[in-house]
Structure 1
Amino acid sequence: MKQILKESNHKTTIEIIQQLIQTTGGTSLTHLGLLGDKKVFLSKDQKSAFIYRKQSNKLVVLCDPIGEISFEKLKEFEDYCKSIKCTPCFYQIDEKSIILYEKAGYRVLKLGEEAVVELDAFEIAGKKGAKLRTKRNKFIRQGYQFEVAMPGHSINLLQELKEVSDEWLNGREELSFSVGSFHYDYVSNFPVGILRDKNGQVIAFATLPIQEKNITIDLMRYLKELPYGTMDMLFVSIMFWAKENGFKSCSLGMAPLANVGLDSNSSIIEKSAKMIFKYGNSIYNFKGLLTFKSKFANKWESKYLAYKPYTLLSVITSIYRLVHGTKSLNYITRFMKPLEKKVKIS
């Protein structure tokens, strides 16, 4: 395999990411390489893989490198970045990796916390699980059915899922980079948890990428008109299915800005981010997402951004453009720009 995969070699990139998942298991984000929007840098000894995407003069790496993580491997990737006049940054790295990045000259910023369900400890019995248990029993009584469809999906099923996805999108553009999006080729890689009503219609679904004994709830879509508690029912059903099938944990993804800036040692930037979490719900539903994931998660893992000194603003801008697109960033910019007073000229 070549060290650097060329842009035109799209299929080879996806094939290598599939091989990485099979051989190393990957992380709760590795499957996003299968979207087809990223490239892979392999170290010379092919023991480390960096999944990244270029935005302006930044190479944004999604999570830590897969495989061996070392100072030497970071430097090797950084040398490549310098050779093409780009600056590297790393999005959603683990807390245990911070010392390594700091040694390599990076600064770190807490982004939020990944919600994880340790399945051995997951249950809805007792007082704590009463609300989820009541909702689940109600859906079962009313004839709703949950199933997990394994890869090898028929075109009829994919079309059913697409109809739900299209209604959920309601004309909006798909997000990308660090979140899943609906494409037949992408969805076809994974098991899909499906909730059907008593008439057999798909009303909600979620793709379920597998990393050895762990799974991730990735792409979630649902119809506009739903009974109260539908997503709770879908999530609880996925947890029970995963537990029964021998999986150890289920990642619900990151809750952005969750518990950022609360530590006494937090940076000024992280403390500012805390205020965005508290008052920024008009821009993004920070609190709602944290509240929903807290219904299920029994473990939280901090995630960080690693960036070179004096590049933070441009790095954040690049990541936002990757995930949300230029149109969304322009909207936020206009929203935050103060109105100019018009002066009447007599």
Structure 2
Amino acid sequence: MRGSFRNIHDILDALWRSVQLLIFIDTNVIQSTSRAARLYTVVLVFINWTFIFASAVLLLKPLVYTPLVTRRDRGRVRSLVKKYGQNTIAYLALEHDKKYLFGIQVEGVCAYTVTGEVFVVCGDPIVKAEDARIFLQEILHFCGQNAYQLLLINVTGQFYDLYNEQGFGTVKFGEDAAFYLPEYNLAGGKIAKVRAAINHATKAGIIVSEYNPAAGRDLGIEKQIDGITSEWLKTKGGYEMHFMLGGTGLPEPLDRRYFIARDEAGTVLGFVVFLPYTDGYLADVTRRRSDAPQGVLEKIIYEAFMTFKEEGIKWGNLGMSPLYNVADSEKAKLPEKLFSYIYKNLNSSYGFQQLHHAKEKYAPTHWQPRYLAYFPKPFSPKLAYALIRCQIKEGAWQIVKGELAAFFQRIPRK
């Protein structure tokens, strides 16, 4: 087509005219002498800008599908949690590691993150029970549009039948240590260890009080709380679990409640952060100094529960014992059997049994089952990896490394 253009004399001229044509979309820079040449220039410009637009869409896809969370969004989520937050971990939706998918046809929200191609939801959708079916279908539609698999972690029995009805796979993932406060006290043999620990702390002059940063900040107390957290992180190898656990939230306490234990000198020895849910409070963050006297956390938790009891709150909760009692029948599913094996045999990286015994000593009045719900079936390695990766930034490698180290330590040395 060289003869179809008047003002193209050499290769440099052709390159310069092409830049002007493609960037400025000015077909006049090339003086075509035939219909075919004019059609060529128009098609070339069209193809060029099609590729530019497609590239921009692909680059901006994360921003388009996971928009920035605004303060207004968090206020909206907070309101929904107060109205429909039946799951004990519903308040974790307000942590800053969450993104939000709001209902279109109904009032609701789910707090999520995306790991690989898995849309991971913290707890159940936060929605009125009557609207749950519609909102769940909206979540499935969104995941289908974006080629995501869907994983909901630590769901309750509230929507269990609905998940199965909609074609989800469900497996038991653990049990929550729940306390019906109107009936809870320190009587009985099951709680003897906690009772003794509390008595020890009381004799040591330890006093528990509620710290309310919303009513007035005490930077001295908060500095000590941060110090305890820093010390605690060192014992955990410097990393902290995310997504399914919260932080202290002191910069923005909102509806959290803080109970602290101090000695006679006023030194903060330990603290517990409680999160609200429907008719109850969850002990989300529990930490103490390494040299704190025995009974510090036991005294904080029991006195906090008694405070809630006096306020007419019905439930206290110490959170889930992961993988506990998950394969308790002959009909246990394959993932549940695998979880049960991990609970019994792989405790080096995460002390599943130790955590359960720490909750069990408080003698919960109820053990409430918690589940994983996922779509589509079956439970795949990709879902298993997303389950770990969303909570531990180091991912599965951190667990494998810990278990390998423990394995080699058990090998007898000659």
- TM-score normalised by length of structure 1: 0.89
Q: Which runs of structure 1 show a deviation greater than 6 angstroms over 4 or more consecutive aligned residues? A: 336-339
Higher helix share: 2
Aligned to 1:304: 371
- The yes-or-no answer on 1:101 pairing with 2:163 is yes
- The yes-or-no answer on 1:319 pairing with 2:387 is yes
Measured after TM superposition, the shift of residue 226 of structure 1 is 2.0
- The yes-or-no answer on 1:293 pairing with 2:352 is no
Higher-Rg member (1/2): 2
Aligned to 2:258: 192
- The yes-or-no answer on 1:238 pairing with 2:301 is no
SS of aligned partner of 1:219 = strand
Aligned to 1:133: 195
Aligned to 2:230: 166
Q: For residues 161-194 of structure 1, give each alpha carbon's deviation from its aligned partner in whole angstroms, at most 9, with x where no partner exists.
A: 1111111112612221001124433546411011
The unaligned stretches of length 5 or more in structure 1 are: 340-346
The one of 144, 148, 154 equivalent to 2:217 is 154
Q: For residues 123-182 of structure 1, give each alpha carbon's deviation from its aligned partner in whole angstroms, at most 9, with x where no partner exists.
A: 112444443333222322221000112241515132221111111112612221001124
Measured after TM superposition, the shift of residue 23 of structure 1 is 2.9
Q: Kindly indicate whether the alpha-carbon contact (under 8 Å) linking 2:121 and 2:151 is maintained by their aligned counterparts in 1.
A: yes
SS of aligned partner of 1:123 = coil
User: In structure 2, what is the Cα distance between the partners aligned to 1:107 and 1:147?
Assistant: 44
Distance 1:310 1:267, change over 3 A: closer
Q: Kindly indicate whether the alpha-carbon contact (under 8 Å) linking 1:174 and 1:181 is maintained by their aligned counterparts in 2.
A: no
The one of 169, 172, 192 equivalent to 1:110 is 172
> Quick one: which amino acid aligns to residue 263 of structure 2?
D
Count of aligned positions: 335
User: In structure 2, what is the Cα distance between the partners aligned to 1:58 and 1:209?
Assistant: 27
- The yes-or-no answer on 1:80 pairing with 2:148 is no
- More deviation in 192-201 or 265-274? 265-274
- The yes-or-no answer on 1:280 pairing with 2:346 is yes
Higher relative contact order (CA 8 A, sep 6+): 1
> Quick one: which amino acid aligns to residue 72 of structure 1?
I
Q: Kindly indicate whether the alpha-carbon contact (under 8 Å) linking 1:35 and 1:186 is maintained by their aligned counterparts in 2.
A: no
- TM-score normalised by length of structure 2: 0.75
User: In structure 2, what is the Cα distance between the partners aligned to 1:88 and 1:128?
Assistant: 40
Q: Kindly indicate whether the alpha-carbon contact (under 8 Å) linking 2:121 and 2:152 is maintained by their aligned counterparts in 1.
A: yes
Aligned to 2:245: 179
- The yes-or-no answer on 1:30 pairing with 2:93 is no
User: In structure 2, what is the Cα distance between the partners aligned to 1:183 and 1:25?
Assistant: 19
Q: Where do 1:321-340 residues align within 5 Å?
A: 321-325=389-393, 327-334=394-401
Aligned to 1:201: 267
Measured after TM superposition, the shift of residue 8 of structure 1 is 1.9
User: In structure 2, what is the Cα distance between the partners aligned to 1:59 and 1:186?
Assistant: 27
Q: Kindly indicate whether the alpha-carbon contact (under 8 Å) linking 1:5 and 1:41 is maintained by their aligned counterparts in 2.
A: no
Q: For residues 56-98 of structure 1, give each alpha carbon's deviation from its aligned partner in whole angstroms, at most 9, with x where no partner exists.
A: 1111111111123433321111111122222222111123422
Measured after TM superposition, the shift of residue 333 of structure 1 is 3.6
Measured after TM superposition, the shift of residue 287 of structure 1 is 1.0
Distance 1:56 1:146, change over 3 A: same
SS of aligned partner of 2:373 = strand
SS of aligned partner of 1:111 = strand
Measured after TM superposition, the shift of residue 331 of structure 1 is 2.8
